[in-house]
């Protein structure tokens, strides 16, 4: 018999925003490092662990998930430099990804950095890596316990020896080497004082120039707030420099909002001659190229031309060519907007490559520079271009392509001929996945909008309303929830389970308009779309409320959290993974200010009303029969504060009258998910599946 979870002390703090008073009974938990908050969290974690370990299906699920997730190698984060290919590889049976290199395409892999061999109180993981242009050195970020708080290290590829350089607080891998291959520019957070409020701990970050072998504390600051009168910055803005040996120009990106992995949002772009890097940074002649209103998503420099992917007046994206020697002159459109959504561009071997989404499917076009016409490159797999990599002077691009039921394969695209061939570096998935089928349908939202919905299940599934079904979604930052392979989902399908992905507004599946239609005051659309997809699954016989679960992680906590408080009767169970729940307080956390452009701020009435829409914590009501809920949190999470989960768990436990469990699962050596070990991933998924099945009526 498992004891009941500890009750949380209630101490109401009330805030009044623009005439509306909002009560917060667990504000004290925001000081989660206090003895009381930490003690309550530890007790909750122990209770959740005891309940989850006792679930009847958990052991068998963990065995099967461990087998499925360990059957294939996982390759990611490709980079090409000096003819060498660098990437991360997690081997079958391995816990963490290793940094490897292939000196030539036909050569075998050689391990450069292996976090599995590192010892300490917490596991290490490689957050990012950037090779020098000649491929002889590689800078990479190493952090511990999933914290993503990287220390920059530099490795000699030939000898495998580390150089003496080590730079802390380098959280992002947006680093550019200089052509001497002995210097680079990088972004760094300042070490905050102990008394600094959480919301200000990442203020006034800077871009630096580092020369190998020198003291990083003496690195030249080349971009910072107040440094150069031509570049205006707020405290939360972040400066990043971009250089390429193929151009005598350099670019400065001032990022005003949260960063996506492979695209920019809400940024201002400047340019200056590369030679000015060696001069006085205060007087660098930066010229403004584009602002937030131009909606720049990506760019590529080639000689004296800048190819810019912008969405101003073209929500699906268009590419323009800007002459760097005649800034302000005519900038012709070289790739016009179409029904496809342009995701990224790059220069390879005198060709412009254009990566696109076409109804959620990955497409590739190439254009001979300077005056060719874009033409399609036939791809061997219908799915998602998960990653791509190349070097500007090369003639090939690496493409990693996958689908919902096909494992990622790595291909080489000859940009001259357009030919695409398999490298053979990654094996295909087991034939067992051919037993699955994918249905791409549309659910009708309340306002008549058609919302794309992907449904994956075993062939021959009966639509009798009795299938255990898990619906997930995201819907923020313009991030598209594209098709990707998750082998462990076979364990769910083998138990008759259906997995569905709601492509809700706020994401980027259908372009910038789709993002804006689920942003700020439009955020109700994100939640309503998710509910519409749930209703579709019920109405079409895939499932019923007694067999339906919803989940979301990070900002994906907004659609499922919103659906939980608006339609609690719709769900048998809900899973909220490292989720945003108390949006009205998010800007007061360490990672909060940089998210204001996406979600809003309580300092303005519009921002308050936007945040009020997505705040599920303050919408919970006493006496409601809420479904079973599993919340997860990592104590080293750098993106969503731990108290987002603790406050939601405490409020749900106090409010619900259903008698169904509300569990808070805590990962002591985990963060937001990045850098998790294979065992951590397997155990969390086994907990989730076992919890859901235990709550679904037979």
471 lies in some domain? yes
Q: Are 638 and 147 in contact (CB under 8 A)?
A: yes
**What are the residues whose beta carbons fall under 8 Å from the beta carbon of 132, sequence distance 6 or more?**
81, 82, 138, 139, 177, 181, 184
434 lies in some domain? yes
101 lies in some domain? yes
- Same-domain status, 154 and 283: no
**Residue range(s) defining the domain that contains residue 131:** 72-165
Return d(Cα 33, Cα 642) in angstroms, integer. 10
Do β-strands 469-473 and 498-502 pair in parallel, antiparallel, or remain unpaired?
parallel
- Same-domain status, 248 and 133: no
Return the pLDDT at 327: 87
Strand (E) positions, 82-161?
Answer: 84-90, 98-102, 110-113, 124-131, 137-144, 151-156
Q: At 2, is the pLDDT very low, low, confident or very high (cuts 50, 70, 90)?
A: low
Return d(Cα 114, Cα 124) in angstroms, integer. 9
Return the pLDDT at 321: 97
Q: Per-residue DSSP letters for 493-529?
A: HTTT-EEEEE--BTBSTT-HHHHHTTSGGGHHHHHHH
pLDDT digits (tens, 9 = 90+) for 581-595: 999 999 999 999 999
Cis peptide bond N-terminal to 370, omega within 30: yes
Chosen domain end from 165, 197, 225: 165
- Same-domain status, 148 and 252: no
pLDDT digits (tens, 9 = 90+) for 235-281: 999 999 999 998 999 999 999 999 887 889 999 999 999 999 887 89
Chosen domain end from 131, 165, 199: 165
Chosen domain end from 165, 183, 207: 165
Average confidence (pLDDT) over 349-369: 96
- Same-domain status, 497 and 607: yes
pLDDT digits (tens, 9 = 90+) for 93-108: 899 999 999 998 888 9
Return d(Cα 86, Cα 126) in angstroms, integer. 13
- Same-domain status, 51 and 103: no
369 lies in some domain? no
Q: What percent of the chain has pLDDT over 70?
A: 100
Q: What is the mean pLDDT of the chain?
A: 96
Q: Is the pTM of this model over 0.85?
A: yes
Return d(Cα 645, Cα 108) in angstroms, integer. 45
Largest CA distance in the chain: 76
**For the chain, what percentages of helix, strand and coil (3-state, to nearest 5) are there?**
25, 35, 40
- Same-domain status, 144 and 187: no
330 lies in some domain? no
Average confidence (pLDDT) over 378-402: 95
Is it the case that residue 600 has pLDDT exceeding 60? yes
From residue 401, how far is each of 99, 363, 376, 410 by CA, in Å? 20, 10, 16, 7
Return the pLDDT at 330: 85
Q: At 697, is the pLDDT very low, low, confident or very high (cuts 50, 70, 90)?
A: confident
657 lies in some domain? yes
Return the pLDDT at 1: 44
Q: At 4, is the pLDDT very low, low, confident or very high (cuts 50, 70, 90)?
A: confident
Strand (E) positions, 407-540?
Answer: 409-414, 420-422, 436-444, 450-458, 469-473, 498-502
Q: What angle do CA 599, 604, 608 make, to 5 degrees?
A: 50
- Same-domain status, 81 and 64: no
- Same-domain status, 138 and 49: no
CATH of the domain at 231: 2.130.10.120
Count up the domains in the chain and report the number: 3
Is it the case that residue 326 has pLDDT exceeding 90? no
473 DSSP 8-state letter? E
366 lies in some domain? no
Is it the case that residue 684 has pLDDT exceeding 80? yes
- Same-domain status, 604 and 512: yes
- Same-domain status, 518 and 658: yes
Return d(Cα 134, Cα 533) in angstroms, integer. 49
381 lies in some domain? no
Return d(Cα 308, Cα 301) in angstroms, integer. 9
CATH of the domain at 525: 3.40.50.1820
Average confidence (pLDDT) over 59-86: 97
- Same-domain status, 633 and 494: yes
pLDDT digits (tens, 9 = 90+) for 173-194: 899 999 999 999 999 999 999 8
- Same-domain status, 125 and 84: yes
């Amino acid at each position: 018999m498992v004891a009941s979870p500890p009750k949380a002390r209630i101490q109401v703090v009330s805030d009044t925003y623009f005439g509306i008073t909002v009560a917060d009974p667990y504000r004290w938990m925001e000081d989660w490092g206090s003895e009381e908050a930490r003690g309550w969290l530890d007790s909750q974690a122990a209770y959740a662990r005891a309940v989850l370990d006792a679930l009847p299906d958990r052991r068998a699920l963990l065995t099967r998930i461990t087998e499925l997730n360990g059957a294939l190698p996982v390759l990611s984060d490709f980079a090409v430099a000096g003819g060498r290919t660098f990437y991360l590889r997690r081997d079958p049976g391995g816990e963490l990804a290793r940094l490897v290199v292939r000196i030539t395409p036909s050569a075998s892999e050689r391990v450069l950095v292996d976090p599995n061999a590192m010892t300490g109180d917490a596991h290490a993981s490689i957050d990012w890596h950037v090779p020098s242009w000649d491929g002889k050195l590689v800078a990479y970020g190493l952090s511990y316990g999933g914290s993503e708080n990287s220390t920059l290290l530099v490795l000699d590829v030939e000898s495998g020896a580390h150089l003496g350089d080590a730079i802390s607080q380098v959280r992002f891998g947006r680093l550019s080497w200089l052509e001497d291959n002995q210097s680079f520019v990088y972004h760094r957070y300042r070490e905050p004082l102990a008394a600094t409020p959480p919301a200000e701990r990442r203020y006034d970050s800077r871009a630096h120039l580092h020369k190998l072998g020198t003291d990083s504390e003496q690195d030249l600051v080349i971009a910072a707030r107040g440094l150069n009168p031509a570049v205006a910055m707020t405290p939360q803005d972040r400066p990043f420099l971009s250089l390429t040996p193929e151009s005598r120009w350099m670019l400065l990106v001032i990022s005003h909002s949260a960063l996506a992995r492979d695209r920019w949002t809400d940024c201002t772009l400047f340019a200056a001659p590369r030679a000015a890097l060696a001069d006085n940074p205060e007087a660098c002649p930066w010229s403004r190229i584009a602002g937030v209103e131009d909606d720049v998503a990506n760019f590529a420099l080639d000689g004296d031309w800048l190819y810019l992917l912008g969405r101003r007046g073209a929500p699906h994206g268009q590419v323009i060519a800007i002459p760097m020697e005649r800034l302000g002159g005519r900038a012709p459109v070289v790739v016009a907007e179409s029904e496809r959504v342009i995701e990224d561009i790059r220069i390879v071997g005198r060709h412009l490559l254009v990566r696109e989404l076409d109804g959620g499917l990955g497409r590739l076009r190439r254009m001979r520079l300077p005056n060719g016409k874009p033409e399609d490159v036939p791809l061997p797999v219908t799915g998602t271009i998960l990653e791509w990599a190349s070097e500007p002077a090369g003639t090939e691009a690496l493409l990693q392509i996958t689908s919902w039921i096909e494992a990622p394969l790595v291909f080489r695209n000859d940009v001259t001929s357009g030919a695409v061939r398999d490298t053979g570096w990654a094996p295909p998935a087991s034939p067992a996945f051919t037993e699955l089928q994918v249905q791409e349908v549309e659910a009708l939202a309340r306002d008549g909008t058609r919302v794309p919905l992907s449904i994956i299940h075993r062939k021959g599934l009966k639509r009798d309303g009795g299938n255990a079904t898990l619906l997930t979604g995201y819907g923020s930052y313009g991030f598209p929830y594209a098709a990707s392979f998750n082998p462990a989902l076979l364990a769910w399908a083998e138990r008759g389970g259906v997995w569905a992905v709601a492509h809700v507004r706020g994401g980027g599946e259908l372009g910038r308009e789709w993002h804006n239609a689920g942003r700020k005051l439009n955020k109700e659309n994100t939640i309503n779309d998710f509910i519409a997809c749930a209703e579709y699954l019920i109405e079409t016989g895939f499932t019923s409320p007694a067999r339906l679960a919803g989940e979301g992680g990070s900002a994906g906590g907004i659609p499922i959290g919103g659906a939980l408080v608006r339609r609690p009767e719709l769900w048998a169970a809900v899973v909220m993974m490292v989720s945003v729940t108390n949006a009205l307080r998010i800007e007061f956390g360490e990672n909060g200010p940089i998210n204001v452009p996406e979600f809003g701020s309580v300092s303005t009435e519009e921002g308050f009303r936007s945040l009020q829409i997505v705040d599920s914590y303050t919408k919970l009501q006493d006496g409601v029969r809420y479904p079973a809920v599993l919340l997860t949190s990592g104590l080293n999470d750098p993106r969503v504060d731990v108290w987002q989960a603790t406050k939601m768990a405490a409020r749900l436990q106090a409010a619900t009258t259903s008698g169904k469990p509300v569990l808070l699962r805590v990962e002591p050596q985990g963060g937001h998910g990045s850098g998790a070990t294979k065992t951590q991933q397997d155990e969390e998924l086994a907990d989730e599946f076992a919890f859901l099945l235990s709550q679904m009526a037979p």
